[in-house]
């Protein structure tokens, strides 16, 4: 009888130890499992999504963007609502921003013109900083923010300003304005300039509809123009 009890005790103890081992192993596995990335998405009307809320298609889109070392600030929380469109928009944005034939300073100037036209404070803030880092004078940015023509611009800055200003305000460009840009940067430069402005107008429209929030403690520099 004692032998039977001892055998049962050993069997029960082995089960207990086995269960404990499994629990420890599961705990270690859970501890080693990679945590879901903190996407740090922001939005207003489009509520920020977390990684765990995303569908497989949305996760594939986010993973692509993150693998390219691109920040998810700005339109990505909105574009996740249609990841198929989002991938197309993302690829277009990479092309116009990072593969333009125009110098960075002039790209940023055209973006600032589009942001000012749409009164888009977040786009303006980000690209004023980028423009000044690329060599654009703060006085030019101040004038554009105020809705006035900058008093002093380099010749290449002036031709980009004229092109953007005419296109935004008259929906056309004159022959002289077109020839100035095409003569300096070629027809490819004209196409790159239009693409840059077109993308950032679309971006500004999305963020305006969302009422995309500024970073904490940062106020908009832009006031509505008459």
Please count the other Cβ atoms lying within 10 Å of the Cβ belonging to residue 226: 3
The domain total for the chain is 2
| Residue whose entry in the numeric block shows the structure tokens 């840009």 | 181
- 26 and 106 in a common domain: no
pTM tops 0.85: no
Q: What is the mean pLDDT of residues 69-83?
A: 93
Instruction: Kindly report the average pLDDT of the chain as a whole number.
Output: 88
Q: Is residue 177 part of a domain?
A: yes
pLDDT in tens, 131-162: 999 999 999 999 999 999 999 999 999 999 99
pLDDT in tens, 170-186: 999 999 999 999 999 99
Tell me: pLDDT of 29 over 80: no
User: Buried b vs exposed e over 101-128: b needs ≥16 C-beta within 10 Å?
Assistant: ebbbbbbbbbbbbbbbbbebbbbbbbbb
Q: Is residue 220 part of a domain?
A: no
189: domain CATH number? Answer: 1.20.1290.10
> pLDDT band at 102, cuts 50/70/90?
very high
Segments forming the whole domain that contains residue 173:
100-210
Q: Is residue 124 part of a domain?
A: yes
Predicted local distance difference test score (pLDDT) of residue 7: 53
Q: Is residue 94 part of a domain?
A: no
Predicted local distance difference test score (pLDDT) of residue 70: 81
């Amino acid at each position: 009888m004692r032998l039977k009890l001892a055998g049962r005790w050993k069997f029960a103890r082995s089960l207990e130890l086995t269960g404990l081992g499994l629990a420890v192993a599961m705990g270690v596995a859970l501890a080693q499992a990679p945590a879901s990335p903190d996407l740090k998405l922001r939005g207003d009307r489009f509520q920020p999504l977390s990684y765990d809320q995303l569908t497989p298609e949305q996760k594939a889109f986010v993973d692509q963007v993150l693998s390219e070392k691109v920040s998810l600030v700005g339109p990505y929380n909105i574009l996740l609502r249609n990841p198929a469109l989002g991938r197309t928009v993302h690829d277009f944005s990479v092309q116009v921003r990072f593969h333009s034939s125009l110098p960075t300073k002039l790209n940023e100037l055209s973006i600032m013109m589009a942001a000012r036209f749409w009164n888009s404070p977040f786009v303006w803030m980000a690209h004023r900083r980028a423009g000044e880092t690329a060599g654009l004078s703060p006085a030019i940015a101040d004038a554009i923010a105020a809705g006035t023509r900058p008093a002093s611009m380099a010749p290449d800055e002036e031709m980009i300003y004229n092109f953007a200003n005419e296109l935004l305000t008259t929906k056309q460009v004159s022959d002289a304005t077109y020839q100035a840009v095409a003569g300096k940067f070629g027809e490819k430069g004209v196409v790159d300039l239009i693409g840059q402005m077109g993308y950032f107008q679309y971006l500004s429209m999305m963020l305006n509809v969302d009422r995309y929030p500024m970073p904490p403690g940062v106020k908009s520099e832009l006031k509505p123009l008459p």
